[in-house]
């Protein structure tokens, strides 16, 4: 079976980090996340992946050139962003029969083999994996009958109610896309699935208790790391804090338990780091404090600076006297002005 992996989003919620690194290539434990998605597919017998992105295409080319082995990656051109549905329609000529689709920004240990079996047993044209959340406000909900047949997609609720959300993993038949023209932007969630349901096509849902997180926000990107450090994801056991072998930490620096340091990161004496992910080549100078932040590759945090709740771009420089709190800091090192 083949899979289409959706990697073409701009990752606006993770800016400015995603201005230079596409979201699926941001690291999880110092390894581009897309490796994990591809390894997960290979474990479930997928040997060919079709993928495309009009955003930062060159970064993907470099990733593909470096990655070897299973599954084979077929890159296709997506000149303009085609949306989740349009990207799949664009990939259809490469697909032969039933196929999987995965959002390229979901960390999960979902049992893909079981999902495919369920799809086949139901004779579905589309099967949507579901994830149960306690507070469904940020998500739309999927309503299904007792056999799992999807009845409708509901808008984001106003109240913090529990519910089943679309987990961004699907099994699909090519016929689900009949009538959708190639080359135009389409959303699978908002257009294709509702149209299938309206015409009475068998669209099923597959509830799962697997670990699941969407890496698309700074909070979730950090949470995913903390969960892995706590051993919540099967097959990923690592020490906490987690330091790349080439990272250098002064004996008089302090690292909290929920910290990840990338390759060649340097943490100098008196610096304190807590609840943060520092990507490759970051330097934290003497006495600086970093908390609840994502620090982009090669960024420098000057001595005595405080950075809390921030997202720093690749190459950002934070001045030694700066006190950043909940800011997005671009490569120039300045934070957006605060409202009075």
Residues forming the site for ligand GTP (CB under 6 A): 6-13, 23, 52-53, 78, 81-84, 87, 103-105, 216
* CA distances (Å), origin 126, targets 46, 197, 206, 251, 327: 18, 10, 11, 55, 41
For the record, the structure tokens of 338 come out as 């605060």
Min dist CB 33 to ligand GTP, Å, is: 10
Structure token digits, residue 297: 């590759």
What is the nearest approach in angstroms of ligand GTP to the Cβ of residue 62? Answer: 17
Instruction: Quote the least distance from Cβ 186 to ligand GTP, whole Å.
Output: 9
Distance in Å, CB of 304 to ligand GTP, minimum: 33
**How is the chain split among helix, strand and coil, in percent rounded to 5?**
25, 30, 45
Min dist. Cβ of residue 43 to ligand GTP (A): 20
Nearer to ligand GTP, 56 or 282 (CB): 56
* 25 vs 305, beta carbon nearer ligand GTP: 25
Task: Decide whether 169 or 276 has the Cβ nearer to ligand GTP.
Answer: 169
Nearer to ligand GTP, 85 or 333 (CB): 85
Around Cβ 68, how many Cβ atoms within 10 Å?
7
Answer for the pair 314, 332: CB distance below 8 angstroms, yes or no: no
* Per-residue H/E/C for 37-79: HHHHHHHCCCCEEEEECCCCHHHHHHHHHHCCCCCEEEECCCC
In the bound state with ligand GTP, the residue whose beta carbon lies nearer, of 11 and 297, is 11
> Is the Cβ of residue 56 or residue 290 nearer to ligand GTP in the bound state?
56
Q: Which two tokens stand for residue 310?
A: 């921030």
Q: How far is the CB of 91 from ligand GTP (least distance, A)?
A: 9
Spatial separation of the C-alpha atoms in residues 190 and 242, rounded to whole Å: 39
* φ, ψ at 37 (rounded to 5°): -60, -45
């Amino acid at each position: 079976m083949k899979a289409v992996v959706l990697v073409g989003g701009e990752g606006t919620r993770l800016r400015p980090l995603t201005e230079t690194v596409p979201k699926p290539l941001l690291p999880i434990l110092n390894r581009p996340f897309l490796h994990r998605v591809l390894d997960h597919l290979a474990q479930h017998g997928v040997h060919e992946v079709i993928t495309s992105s009009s955003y930062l295409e060159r970064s993907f080319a470099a990733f593909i050139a470096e990655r070897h082995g299973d599954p084979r990656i077929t890159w296709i051109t997506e000149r303009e962003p085609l949306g989740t549905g349009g990207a799949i329609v664009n990939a259809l000529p490469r697909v032969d029969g039933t196929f999987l689709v995965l959002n390229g920004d979901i960390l999960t240990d979902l049992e893909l083999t079981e999902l495919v079996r369920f799809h086949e047993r139901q004779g579905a044209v589309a099967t949507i994996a579901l994830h149960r959340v306690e507070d469904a406000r940020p998500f739309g909900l999927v309503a299904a009958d007792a056999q799992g047949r999807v009845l409708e997609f509901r808008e984001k609720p106003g109240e913090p109610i529990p519910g089943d959300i679309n987990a961004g993993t699907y099994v699909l038949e090519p016929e689900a896309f009949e009538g959708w023209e190639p080359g135009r932007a389409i959303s699978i969630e908002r257009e294709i699935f509702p149209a299938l349901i309206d015409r009475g096509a068998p669209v099923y849902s597959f509830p799962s208790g697997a670990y699941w997180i969407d890496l698309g926000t700074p909070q979730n990107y950090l949470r995913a790391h903390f969960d892995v450090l706590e051993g919540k994801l099967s097959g990923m056991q690592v020490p906490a804090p987690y330091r790349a072998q080439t990272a250098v930490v002064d004996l008089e620096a302090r690292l909290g338990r929920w910290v990840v340091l990338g390759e060649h990161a340097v943490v100098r004496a008196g610096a304190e780091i807590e609840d943060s992910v520092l990507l490759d080549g970051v330097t934290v100078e003497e006495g600086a404090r970093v908390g609840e932040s994502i620090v982009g590759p090669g960024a420098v945090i000057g001595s005595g600076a405080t950075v809390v709740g921030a997202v720093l771009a690749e190459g950002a420089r934070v001045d030694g006297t700066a006190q950043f709190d909940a800011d997005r800091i671009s490569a120039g090192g300045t934070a957006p002005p605060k409202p009075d």
